[in-house]
Chain A
């Protein structure tokens, strides 16, 4: 009889205690934090969690995303897919950019299969913009009075290469608006570029001076996040406040009196247009960016610093 007692004692205890095992099983997620959301999902407001970002109160949303070109399309692709479905871009290559004062020369090609700039998509390859570029044809509402333009880049021209400008985004030029007989030729649009001293800068037309007094040096030795925001400065009037962010930090704040939208002009990623008139003259790529570019997002509002910090944080996770 004692034998039975000893057999049963642990069995009873085992049974009772094992009933509680559920709390220690895989139902619990353990001490590790949940996996971070994919960068793309975060931008599109589709994350299942906000991830380990600094500003957890910021709700990601795609409502203000006009277009989102990840630029990870396979080699040979003609179109740069817009995740938002607003307007696909077109990969343009197969021409050379001759060196001229202020612009490096480049073979006008893409080098595909480059290491991803996004840690949540490590197997996704991006492109080296070696003088080739992406053209986003004009479409109504592509440009808005307030906007944010952001991208991840990895600079590839040399530190000692000076006296050249390298353009990341450009839209517009010196032209008169089609179908509007009341206008004459004027500057419209904007350009985001690294200046001849390799510092980030921006120009917003019709002003012909650069926006930022404080110009951060371009970042080398790896990826960097660059974003510019343009928003109304003050309740009334056409003044715009322009903010430049590098890796989520405010590196420059400038004010322009007016921003003339580059209506009818394409948005160029990776080059500037050497032709004055983007509507009537053939496009003449110049000032190639010579870097890896990925995750270009155009928003219809000026993102807050917290929102931009989160975009950087999401891509910090290793």
Chain B
């Protein structure tokens, strides 16, 4: 009769379904980051139908793939269910059969282990050594949604009424067929070489409503496992990751070596019996022997006992009485969960001697003493002999962890429970895996420049359920929001492209595509807990990308040129307290265009607008990209900012040119271009992609003159496209404690160590990057003072203030002016500031106690947005 624990086998191993899924989650997490480990991709770009189109479907697809999930089927030996979430953006090749653009849902398919036909080419000698799993085509199911791209339908197109249920069903069938085709062909598993131990029929799935699921495989402890795997029916895990069950019969069989010594027990016992005088004392020899022992397995849950009963005899040829005796010895088997070891511990033998006749008392006593003296060492030696076998697990742990680490380089494993039952032992253990990585929020512009794609955003070991987009404009545009669950795209319907490369007549323009601004994304979803294997809800922080004017860095030789950070308008920050953003912080030097700078001293007048319109329209340079930068005298926008900006931007939109309206902060622009201020008239300048000033003009200009200047001085370049700002240091980056040391890279010996922040400080640190004459920087310093100023006896973070462009005296003056007591570092030529990649002032960085950036804030602290679009990022 099969053992309830191990069936026909000496032992079985069970691994929980949750553990398998945790390992799959590790593989999903491995993607790209750990190329040496097997991985499961989180996103792919692929072609569909190139070699053999199914139903005429051919095209390109970008696909996000969730963590896979295996569902074990109870009682089967050759199949399992695989589930994976997908989110696809499909683009058909022109003229091919359509498929919905946005496909989102769960693919569920049954896979079966198949034999390889030795007749297959090249497999004659190898077929038996491989396992091959193949999808069961008919089992493939797709449940989800399939939507057409409404953005390409455009406005004004009437769609005939259709039965949406019929269309949906047809689409689902079509998608399912495509997926089934792909799984059966393109994504077919390659045969996997396996040892005999894992051949078909030696793996069985168990799945019960109570008890969970597991894969079970037999273990042959004394040879190859023999028996029927179907005889193993019971789940033994009880919440553990793995369980090993050993048949009591096998356990008893290993007791035999210990009993061998007992079986051969033979002893002579000298007995001296004193007799009353004048009878002589009797000295004789008893010959002792044992009958075959009886061993019983007594399970007590947390431990077990090998109960050994032996009877024997002691006889003599003298007149003294013979004796018989019974020995009962208990060997305790228990599990030390702390050490992860099984221990054998012998008890004291119990000996009962039966004797009657002459000298029976002495005989019994002597025999008892002799038996006790003989049996004790035998049992102790047997336990000692078995112990190394038990200890094998502890000495092998490291080696075995390394095997698991071929899947997850942080994997560890151990046994921490044992249950002793009448049918044997169940050892239970755990498999520890790497904890989950942080959520990755990444997006970039589509190749077609018609949207932002978050294809490469992912939740390691998890699944994204929602994309929450938000955006603000640098200027007068309205902020917006959009939330999607079926697509990773933030896409807007296309429009006509103007001669300067900007889209016209758009219903939903987006920053980064149609102008400058900030796009933010937050993702929400679930991930497989690395410990429990359960899906737990997670969400990222909001990650924002600024898209800005791609103006050359070279222009600001001799000092930085600033613009006001207009997205801050939405925070209702007083205009002078808007952050300062450095011009030329765009990262893509290859896509820089020309910039026509129009400096407006007083007001936007008709004559200027007319010259601009006429000059741009007649320009013959179609090979040169051009942006328009309209700068008002500093202070002018404080009063009429939004209205004036909206007016100029609307004017530029009609011309199809990208325009940025701002102020000549600190007069830096007019000074750099040698434009005269105070003349009441406009001034003009052309800045080349390389950052050189190729033309300037003071005062009003005729359209013809402007055209001539553009034709002559524009440099060939791509059209203007908003580019991603060179980002400040990213969350998670480790900052060296020497990073605030001004001369660190200059090999200048300093009499002082670097300021104690980050790892040196041993506590949280705040580093604020400010400008000395900036109202926004001053406001931020006041806010920091209010929040972090040290109070007597109260520990707080180290706050370091880096004053860009200030010398020692100016930094000290700022400190006195605002009355703060932070560590203040002058940064006269921006060495420290540039080292951190700061482009916006104020920028405030929070470092954790080991010097990792855990928070990043631009602008004035605690300036909350009404629309929920903020510029604060924090580590997850």
Does chain B have a CB within 8 A of A181?
A: no
In the complex, the answer to whether A249 meets B15 with C-beta atoms within 8 Å is: no
Q: How far is the CB of B336 from chain A (nearest CB, A)?
A: 12
Q: Using a CB-CB cutoff of 8 Å, which residues 183-201 of chain B contact chain A?
A: 186-190, 192, 194, 197-198
Report the stretch among B89-97, B260-268, B821-829 that lies at the interface. Answer: B89-97
Q: Which residues of B contact A25 (CB under 8 A)?
A: 190
B192 partner residues in chain A, CB cutoff 8 A = 15, 18-19, 21
Contact A27 B32 (CB under 8 A): no
Q: How far is the CB of B592 from chain A (nearest CB, A)?
A: 14
Q: Tell me whether A34 is interfacial, beta carbon within 8 Å.
A: yes
Interface hits, A206-233 → B, CB 8 Å: 214-217, 219-222, 224
B622: contacting residue among A6, A48, A219, CB under 8 A: A219
Once the chains bind, are A23 and B187 in contact (CB under 8 Å)? Answer: yes
Q: Scan B415-458; emit 1 where CB is below 8 A from any A CB, else 0.
A: 10000000000010101000000000000000111100001100
Whether the Cβ atoms of B407 and A13 lie closer than 8 Å is: yes
Check if B43 sits within 8 Å of A31, measured CB to CB.
yes
Whether the Cβ atoms of B621 and A216 lie closer than 8 Å is yes
Task: Please give, as numbers and ranges, the residues of chain A lying within 8 Å of B250 by CB-CB distance.
Answer: 1
With CB as the reference atom, state the residue of chain A lying closest to B60: A49
**In the complex, what residue of chain A is closest to B254 when comparing beta carbons?**
A1
Q: A31-B456, A216-B622 are in contact. Are A12 and B41 (CB under 8 A)?
A: no
Contact residues of B: prevailing secondary structure: mixed
B499 contacts the other chain (Cβ, under 8 Å)? Answer: yes
Are A217 and B393 touching (Cβ within 8 A)?
no
Total A-B pairs, Cβ < 8 A: 207
The residues of B that contact A24 with a CB separation of less than 8 Å are 27, 31, 38-41
Complex: A14 Cα to B93 Cα, angstroms? 40
A50: chain B residues at CB < 8 Å are 60, 93-94
Residues of B within 8 A of A14 (CB): 403-404, 406-407
Check B46 against A28 for contact (C-beta < 8 Å): yes
Per-residue CB proximity of A19-59 to B under 8 Å, as 1/0?
11111110111111110000000000000111011101111
Contact indicator B27/A3 (Cβ below 8 Å) = no
The answer on a CB contact under 8 Å between B24 and A12 is: no
Q: Please, how many angstroms separate the alpha-carbon atoms of A54 and B496 in the complex?
A: 12
**B620→A6 contact, CB < 8 A:** no
Docked pose: A11 CA to B407 CA in angstroms: 11
CA distance A59 to B93 in the complex (A): 7
B396 surroundings in chain A (CB, below 8 A): 3, 6-7
Nearest-Cβ distance from residue A318 to partner chain B, whole angstroms: 9
Contact B41 A30 (CB under 8 A): yes
- A301 → chain B closest CB, angstroms: 16
Q: How far is the CB of B388 from chain A (nearest CB, A)?
A: 10
B189, A219: Cβ atoms closer than 8 Å = no
Task: Say yes or no for B217: interface residue by CB 8 A criterion.
Answer: yes
B50 contacts the other chain (Cβ, under 8 Å)?
Answer: yes
Any chain A CB within 8 A of the CB of B583?
Answer: no
Answer whether residue B508 sits at the interface, using C-beta atoms and an 8 A cutoff.
no
B41 touches A6 (CB 8 A): no
Minimal beta-carbon separation of A99 from chain B (angstroms): 26
Contacts of B382 in A (CB 8 A): none
**A236 within 8 A of partner (CB):** no
> Interface extent on B, as a size class?
35 or more
Q: Which residue of A lies closest to B96 (CB)?
A: A59
Closest Cβ of chain A: how far from B670's Cβ, in Å? 30
Residues of A contacting B400 in the complex (Cβ-Cβ under 8 angstroms): 6-7, 9-10
Q: Which residue of A lies closest to B190 (CB)?
A: A22
Could you say which residues of chain B place their CB within 8 Å of the CB of A141?
none
Asked if A65 lies at the interface with its beta carbon under 8 angstroms from chain B, I say: no
Q: Bound state CA distance, A137 and B379, in angstroms?
A: 110
User: Which residues of chain B have C-beta atoms less than 8 A from A246's C-beta?
Assistant: 622-623
B242 within 8 A of partner (CB): yes
Q: Is A77 an interface residue (CB 8 A)?
A: no
B587 at interface by CB-CB < 8 Å: no
User: Contacting A13 at CB < 8 Å: which of B23, B47, B393?
Assistant: B23
A107 to B197, CA, bound (A): 81
Partner of A15, one of B40, B187, B194, B415: B194
- Nearest-neighbour CB distance to chain A for B404, whole angstroms, equals 5
Q: Across the interface, name the chain B residue whose C-beta is closest to A29.
A: B46
A6 to B219, CA, bound (A): 11
Flag whether B221 is at the interface (Cβ < 8 A).
yes
Tell me, rounded to whole Å, the shortest Cβ–Cβ distance linking B457 to chain A: 12
Whether A30 and B44, one on each chain, are in contact in the complex, defined by CB atoms closer than 8 angstroms, is yes
Give the complex CA separation of A251 and B448 in angstroms.
21
| B133 and chain A: residue at smallest CB distance | A19
Task: Indicate if B806 sits at the interface (CB-CB under 8 A).
Answer: no
Interface assignment of A235: CB less than 8 Å from any CB of chain B: no
A interface list, Cβ under 8 A from B: 1-25, 27-34, 48-50, 52-54, 56-60, 199, 214-217, 219-222, 224, 246-247, 249-251
Pairs of residues from A and B, 3 with the lowest C-beta to C-beta distance, nearest first = A59-B94, A3-B392, A219-B623
Task: List the interface of chain B (C-beta within 8 A of A).
Answer: 11, 13, 15, 19-20, 23-24, 27, 31-32, 38-41, 43-47, 50, 60, 65, 68, 70, 82, 91, 93-95, 111, 131, 133, 152, 186-190, 192, 194, 197-198, 203, 215, 217, 219, 221, 242, 244, 246, 250, 254, 342, 389-390, 392-393, 396-397, 400, 403-404, 406-407, 413, 415, 427, 429, 431, 447-450, 455-456, 497, 499, 618, 620-623, 711, 716
User: Apart from A6-B413, A15-B194, A247-B622, what 7 extra A-B contacts exist at CB < 8 Å?
Assistant: A5-B219, A10-B404, A12-B13, A20-B70, A31-B41, A48-B47, A219-B623
9 pairs, A vs B, C-beta closer than 8 Å? A2-B389, A5-B219, A5-B415, A25-B190, A29-B45, A31-B41, A52-B448, A214-B620, A216-B623
